[in-house]
Amino acid sequence: MTKLAGYYIPGIYVEDYSCQVPLNWSGNEPGKGFEGKAISLFYRVLCAPERVHQELPLLLFLQGGPGGAGPRPLDTHSDGWIDEALKHFRIVLPDQRGTGRSTHVDARTMSNFDAPQDAAHFLKQFLADSIIKDFEHLRRTAFDNRTWVTLGQSYGGFLTLSYLSAFPEGVNASFTTGGIPHIPANAEEVYQHTFPRMKTKTEQFYARYPQDAERVARVAELLSSDNVILENGDRLTVERLQSLGSDFGMKPSFERMHWLFDTAFSDGDGSIVSQQSSNMRLNDDFLSAVMQRTSTKALYWPLQEFIYADGDIEPIHWAAQRVRNNMSEFNGAQRPLLFTGEAIFPWMFEQERQLRPFKPAVDVLMEERHWANIYDRDRLADNDVPLQAAVYYDDMYVDSGMQLDTLSHVGNSHAWVTNSYEHDGVHGDQVFRSLYTLAKDRGDLQSVFE
């Protein structure tokens, strides 16, 4: 462990650290020396300035994603859960392997591989089984084997159940927000539940802003008839336009989408252009915004379907695309145009130049049958670590019914079901406060503060 810096941001004392972990955990054990290539794991520790010298319980944040780095708070209020957690904990914010300031994986990294099989084997090292071993190694070495509380947002809930399956002795209590996976995991089953939600969300958007149905259709027609190139050199296609719907699981996504399309076409005074489609031109600011909203974090799409791979399975083989193929209403020629949500498709790895270097590895992994075991159903059934889960009833990304089914088979788990929040509810100050209060009132945090 190496301390890199210590400093203050408004209302928070921050320390930055880095440690070494093996790229491949096979044959290595967390907390001990290891063999093979090493990569860097970056993490930062936050606490309230007035409590720097106090012995505080630890809260490990398990970031959403996959491929998401830890949050970068601006102050105590920029991320609501942090403000609340600082009242009780010292917070540990890792950058999951491959992200942020940890050894980074991006298009240039993948361009260095000549053999697709080698690239695929490399990508496999950035999934849940390796991530939780990194964190357990961190707990045993950098934090003197102290137990900690975990908070898992979205994919962080998947990591939570992986952690409780492999190293429950390291955890005092767990919180999850919108992130309980269905077990047994099955990517196709997930999309069979979430595609209808994508349709419903689109219909709700058009019901709120009826004028946008025509505006979106005009954009789609132009993209079908013209070669529209984004600033980064990618072509903007109808499929890519539809992927803007990934935002529909967050608030206030409908308003963000409405104002985006508000300036798609302009004639100088902001009104929609009335000429024929052949004379239309898309606003440069609109194109820039679409590029930003549909450009991919390096590991987010490449790993998206593989987070459901657990043990020996049938090949995933583009699960979202297979489900979409059976739902003609998502065809780009249909009107009103439906948006898609958190789902990957083969065209992404052809149309997005930042994803093209990942394509050989992803193609191999789509046919892979053998994966690490990430959930131990017997151990989860006997789990005695208190688990308090926020389940968002209308969650577009992680189906609430599937979450509740899993929780019914996890020992000592408790669900707080609410329709007051979307998938990003944790970023306000109410969700974590509610979970914390429920767990505290139940006595689940007694050992944490002894």
Q: pLDDT by residue for the chain (450 residues), tens digit each?
A: 899 999 999 999 999 999 999 999 999 999 999 999 999 999 999 999 999 999 999 999 999 999 999 999 999 999 999 999 999 999 999 999 999 999 999 999 999 999 999 999 999 999 999 999 999 999 999 999 999 999 999 999 999 999 999 999 999 999 999 999 999 999 999 999 999 999 999 999 999 999 999 999 999 999 999 899 999 999 999 999 999 999 999 999 999 999 999 999 976 444 544 445 456 789 999 999 999 999 977 899 999 999 999 999 999 999 999 999 999 999 999 999 999 999 999 999 999 999 999 999 999 999 999 999 999 999 999 999 999 999 999 999 999 999 999 999 999 999 999 999 999 999 998 999 999 999 999 999 999 987
Chain center to CA of 382: 28
Q: What pLDDT was estimated at residue 270?
A: 44
**Model pLDDT, residue 412:** 98
The reported pLDDT for the residue numbered 273 is 47
Task: Locate 280 and state its tokens.
Answer: 């239309």
Helices 211-225, 187-208: inter-axial angle, 10-degree rounding: 120
Residue 278 confidence (pLDDT):
52
Cα 109 to Cα 111: distance, rounded to the nearest angstrom: 5
Interior angle at CA 380, CA 19 and CA 65, nearest 5: 45
| Contact criterion met (CB below 8 Å) for 93 and 44 | yes
Q: What are phi and psi of 417, to 5 degrees?
A: -95, 130
CA distance linking residue 427 with residue 83, whole number of Å: 10
Nearest Cα to Cα of residue 395 among 449, 342, 334 = 342
Instruction: Quote the pLDDT of residue 267.
Output: 62
CB 371 within 8 A of CB 311: yes
The pLDDT value given to residue 279: 62
Please state whether 353 falls in left (phi above 0), alpha (psi between -120 and 50) or beta. Answer: alpha
Distance CA 150, CA 175 (A): 6
Dist CA 354 CA 109 (whole Å): 11
SS3 156: helix
> Structural domain boundaries of the chain?
2-185+374-442, 187-365
Residue 224 CA, distance from chain mean position: 31
**What pLDDT score was predicted for residue 100?**
96
d(Cα 243, Cα 295) in Å, to the nearest integer?
10
Determine the Cα–Cα distance for residues 429 and 411; give it in Å rounded to an integer. Answer: 28
Dig out the tokens for 327 from the structure: 């739902």
Phi, psi of 70 (to 5 degrees): -65, 155
Residue 274, Cβ neighbours under 10 Å: how many?
9
Token code pair at residue 84: 């609340």
- Least Cα distance to 317 among 187, 124, 189, 155 occurs for 187
Q: Which residues contact 308 (CB under 8 A, 6 or more apart)?
A: 181, 185, 186, 187, 190, 316, 319
CATH superfamily name and code, 2-185+374-442: Alpha/Beta hydrolase fold, catalytic domain (3.40.50.1820)
**Other C-beta atoms within 10 Å of 111: how many?**
12
